[in-house]
Chain A
Amino acid sequence: AQKVTQAQTEISVVEKEDVTLDCVYETRDTTYYLFWYKQPPSGELVFLIRRNSFDEQNEISGRYSWNFQKSTSSFNFTITASQVVDSAVYFCAPKAWEGAGSYQLTFGKGTKLSVIP
């Protein structure tokens, strides 16, 4: 089973600031997946990234970047030069690689990001 902690309940930043959303997970699996989803005010979850546990390379996609540290069980998400459209709730979600329940995403409570113009 997996567990995820997103310690930051709400964050407010001024537009163009950088912001990092923390994610710490717990798992007994040696291999697993990690996902980030965005939930804008409209409510529909949008997939952002997936990462498997044996690939520790950091990833950058435009203004988004992810820092995966297996040693500390963290998978943090940074938005550079934030924009108002980034305002949403962001969820980190681990998923088992195989076995019972390996199709389930385990969601944390999410971090609500507000970008102020």
Chain B
Amino acid sequence: GAGVSQSPSNKVTEKGKDVELRCDPISGHTALYWYRQRLGQGLEFLIYFQGNSAPDKSGLPSDRFSAERTGESVSTLTIQRTQQEDSAVYLCASSLGGRGRWDEQFFGPGTRLTVL
């Protein structure tokens, strides 16, 4: 079956522009996560969606960042008025979710964002 997919794979934008990143989770996975990975660093948690519950946005670095998810399907991460420090790889992951905390997160290939 298909894994987590993300688009675009690469995005170059100018400072101040808005960008939208897309994530298609594995079918049937109720949980979806966004992480950010700066060059040479580990992953930073951004936001978590579980089913129809209110998302946990505690990792979003500023109000320029927002994310949406329709039901248990596609999610979009939007960055408004991009800044150079937003340059990073944005990774999406999904898992079966539900009550189990044990479940493995499956990661997509990421979107590499470069802000000029």
A residues apposed to B, CB below 8 Å: 33, 37, 42-47, 50, 52, 91, 95-98, 101-110
Contact = CB atoms under 8 A, between A and B. Distances in A.
B1 interface: no
Contacts of B25: none
B42 A45 contact: no
Nearest to B108: A44
B62 interface: no
A43 B41 contact: no
B105 A47 contact: yes
Given A43-B89, A45-B91, A104-B48, A109 B41 contact: yes
Contacts of B40: 109
Contacts, number: 55
Nearest to B58: A101
Interface residues of B, number: 26
A27 to B, nearest CB: 14
Interface string B81-116: 000000001010100000001101111111000000
Contacts of B91: 45
Contact of B109 (A43, A95, A105): A43
Nearest to A96: B101
A50 B104 contact: yes
Contacts of B35: 107
B42 A91 contact: yes
B101 A98 contact: yes
Contacts of B79: none
Nearest to A98: B101
A97 B102 CA distance: 8
B23 interface: no
A-B pairs, 8 with minimum CB distance: A107-B42, A45-B107, A107-B43, A104-B45, A44-B109, A109-B42, A47-B104, A108-B42
Contacts of A108: 42
A57 B42 CA distance: 27
A27 B74 CA distance: 33
A91 B42 CA distance: 8
Given A52-B102, A109-B40, 19 more contacts: A33-B101, A42-B109, A44-B110, A45-B107, A47-B106, A50-B102, A91-B42, A91-B43, A96-B101, A101-B56, A101-B58, A103-B31, A103-B48, A103-B50, A104-B45, A105-B105, A106-B45, A109-B42, A110-B42
